[in-house]
Amino acid sequence: MTTNQATGLVGAPAAGTAAAARPLRLFLALDAAVTGACGLIYLLAASPVGRLFDLDSAFLRGTGVFLTLYGIAVAALAARPLPPAAATKAVIEVNALWAVASIAAVLFGWVDANTVGTVWIPLQALVVAGFAVLQFSGLRKAHG
């Protein structure tokens, strides 16, 4: 059995290796897939989604453009054997900011969604916050 010098765990891959980065890459890839899918839905189906949530379709299209591009960037990061720590931290920070801003938008009335939208916004915020937590954990394992 081998002992990882960085973590002291028996059988754990050493920090800074592609093997140690596997969980981080998985969490980034899942984030990219979910974010990209939501972005494309908001972008390509802004009118029906806008009616479903009672939100402006132009707002949803703009959000869709951002999420689609962000999803592509996160996917590119996930494709790296060892995603750079600084770029990964930026993704974690954007995800945390998105989650907080989404909750604030509902609490402070920054968006005037109907019940469906008012339920959806915090639920997606929880998913994004979950990605941030998982990515932070993966970052620690990948970079020590």
With a cut of 50, say whether residue 1 has pLDDT above it: no
In a domain, 11, yes or no: no
Domains in the chain: how many in total?
1
pLDDT mean over 135-141 = 95
- Please choose, from the candidates 26, 2, 8, 1, the residue with its C-alpha nearest in 3D space to the C-alpha of residue 139: 26
pLDDT tens column, 3-46: 455 555 555 667 668 788 999 999 999 999 999 999 999 999 99
pLDDT tens column, 88-136: 999 999 999 999 999 999 999 999 999 999 999 999 999 999 999 999 9
Tell me the H-state helices in 21-84.
22-44, 46-53, 57-78
In a domain, 123, yes or no: yes
In a domain, 63, yes or no: yes
Helix (H, G, I), strand (E, B) or coil at 21: coil
What tokens were used for 65? 């453009």
Q: Which domain holds residue 34?
A: 22-143
In a domain, 2, yes or no: no
What pLDDT score was predicted for residue 19?
85
